[in-house]
Structure 1
Amino acid sequence: MAEKDRLDRAVRDLIWNIVEIHSHLQEIHKTWAEMLGITEPQWLILMAIDELDHGRGVSGIAVANKLRIHPAFVTNQTKKLEQMELLARLISPEDARFLQISLTQKARTEMAKLSDKRQALNSTMLAGLDQESLDYLNKRLTSIAKNSQLAYQKLNLGLL
């Protein structure tokens, strides 16, 4: 098999592996969401806020960017999550046009209840990978993510 064919096969295998992993992760997120009585997109919003908030809240735009979704959708869903007392939305002290969103204690408590299951799930998913291997994999995936964004931009501009 020619080098070009082997590379093409490897790229196709990578893409299909990513598609399969994405599908499984969607089902996992759906399950976590159901356990909290929310939708999968709402679960992802909670996860993004938990990831991005460093004690001062996070903007809806930052959440939308993290999840690669429209900010209006985040606004709509965070209002619903606020009504469920899972989020607090406060006016930003720096700019009254923006809200700072953070998890409530209720949300943190509910997510903590899932902690042991989530750790067991992560151990199962990542069985056979040590910290060094996982770090290596994450660096490579980050590079692929950046390069795929560039490739999409070039394709969209007609440069490819």
Structure 2
Amino acid sequence: MQVKEQLARAVSDFIWNIVEVHSQLEEIHKTWAQLLGITEPQWLILMAVDELDEGRGVSGIAVANKLRIHPAFVTNQTKKLEAMEFLSRVTSPDDARYLRISLTQKALAEIRKLSIKRQSLNATMLEGLDEESLHYVNKRLILIAKNSRLASQKLSIGIL
């Protein structure tokens, strides 16, 4: 029975550590957003576009999937970010029904201005972890995320 209790304690500690990290990351994202005069969700959209765009723009659906949010919310927010000149939305050359979203030069310049602070922040957050350790943690988190999605689906359909 003691082994089960130890495992339960380890799982509980893990979950609360993830909650703490998530909370701190939210605060960090809010701060970056405030520095640009935008909301936290808008900051995350900019970061997702930056991450996903390989030079041809990115679809709103890809951004929504990356952030695990509704595509209509992405559409609404990208329109606002376009009006603020942080994003450009251009009709896809492959299919006129879709838009390709890209960061503007203004957004790129603002993100570049923050890059030294972001590098310093990342170094502080990950102090004590070398590249190999970080790679190991990321591989495990990918597996946990995949398993969490499966567990969530099972719970929602009543299998668990």
Same fold (TM over 0.5): yes
Match of residue 132 from structure 2: 132
After TM superposition, where is structure 1 displaced by more than 3 Å over at least 4 residues in a row? Answer: none
User: Deviation string for 1:79-118 (max 9, x for gaps)?
Assistant: 0000111101000111111100000011000000000000
Q: Aligned to 1:35, what secondary structure does the other structure show?
A: helix
| Structure-2 separation of matches of 1:56 and 1:149 | 30
The residue aligned with 1:120 is 120
Map of 1:83 onto structure 2: 83
1:5-154 matches, cutoff 5 A: 5-154=5-154
Shift of 1:157: 1.2
CA RMSD of aligned residues (A): 0.7
**2: CA distance between counterparts of 1:158 and 1:85?**
46
2:101 counterpart SS class: strand
Structure 1 vs Structure 2: percent identity of aligned residues? 75
- The separation in 1 between residues aligned to 2:39 and 2:156, in whole angstroms, is 32
Where in structure 2 are there 5+ consecutive unaligned residues?
none
The size of the alignment, in residue pairs, is 160
In the alignment, the residues of structure 2 paired with residue 140 and residue 4 of structure 1 have an alpha-carbon distance, to the nearest angstrom, of 21
Stretches of structure 1 that go unaligned for 5 or more consecutive residues are none
- CA displacement at 1:8 relative to structure 2: 0.6
For the residues of structure 2 that align with 1:14 and 1:102, how far apart are their CA atoms? 37
Matches of 1:98 and 1:4, distance apart in 2: 51
Please state how far the C-alpha of 1:151 moved relative to its aligned partner: 0.4
